Amino acid sequence: MASPSASASTSLVAAYRLPHSCGSRRIPTLTLLVDTNTRRHKRHIVPSLLVKNRLDGYLGEMSSDLSTLRTLAVFCASANGTHPAYLEAAQELGTALATRNIGLIYGGAKVGLMQAVAESALRAGGHVVGVIPEVLVDLEVAHHGISELHVVDTMHTRKALMGQKSDAFLILPGGFGTLEEMFEVLAWQTLRLHDKPVLLLNINGFYDPLIAFLDHAVREGMLKPKSRAILLVADTVEDALNQLSAQPH
């Protein structure tokens, strides 16, 4: 596949190739040429990414034998929430990632906790990669000031690319979308489709009811104890990153 050419003043954010050996359905993915002077993003459709389904997208690079946490996918809300602790935690996380030289992989938006974690990382000199579906770009919520912005065709492709580019997953407070993202990577780890650590950052007790429900599911025989143990939990940003750094990657 030929990539779009880039001038000396333009940096190319390359398309992320999903595995070419997995079936025949074509899913177009977008990449961006970023003008480093104006920060304007020009969209280019990248054809011939061969994937059978989003499972194959995850399986491409969802397992890793690296010993160092280099990149972290963060799932979080597009809102700030009612308690200031949520926003403060997102900002602290972004700064801490940059300080530890850990790249941030997130949903590419400029709203809510997503914006807070991204901009805090950028201010501290960190590298921020956003992955966003085209429909959200059209709604003008994409963050065009980050290090890399990958525009994809669907929400499913978005999650596949975030999973491939990250060494671990961290979940900040959020709603349906955040929970769906978390439970998908948890479910797939129980199926041994990846071995990347997953951590719930339980700021201000936000996830206390969810944690209690998971324990209830274990007691009721609906969730295996070993599956419940997959989900790491931390109450502070420092503890969260320490736990994730101690896990094999």
Quick check: 200 pLDDT over 50? yes
Q: What is the pTM of this model?
A: 0.78
Pairing of strands 103-106, 71-75: parallel
Average pLDDT, the chain: 81
Please give the C-alpha separations between residue 65 and each of 108, 120, 169, in angstroms, as whole numbers: 27, 29, 16
Q: What is the pLDDT at residue 37?
A: 40
Token pair belonging to 80: 């700030």
141-170 average pLDDT score: 95
Q: Give the tens place of pLDDT for each residue, 44-56.
A: 333 323 233 444 4
Task: Give the class (CATH, top level) of 63-246.
Answer: alpha beta
Q: Are 55 and 193 in contact (CB under 8 A)?
A: yes
Query: 76: which residues sit within 8 A by CB, 6+ positions away?
Result: 90, 106, 107, 112, 113, 114, 117, 171, 172, 173, 174, 178
Q: Are 155 and 57 in contact (CB under 8 A)?
A: no
Q: What is the pLDDT at residue 20?
A: 31
Q: What is the pLDDT at residue 38?
A: 41
**Band of the pLDDT at 103, cuts 50, 70, 90?**
very high
Quick check: 119 pLDDT over 70? yes
226-241 average pLDDT score: 98
Quick check: 22 pLDDT over 60? no
Q: What is the pLDDT at residue 248?
A: 78
Quick check: 13 pLDDT over 60? no
Q: What is the pLDDT at residue 138?
A: 84
Q: Report which of residues 125 and 61 the model is more confident about.
A: 125
Q: Report which of residues 184 and 11 the model is more confident about.
A: 184
Q: What is the pLDDT at residue 206?
A: 98
Q: What is the pLDDT at residue 44?
A: 39
Q: What is the pLDDT at residue 233?
A: 98
Domain layout of the chain by residue ranges: 63-246
Q: Report which of residues 38 and 82 the model is more confident about.
A: 82
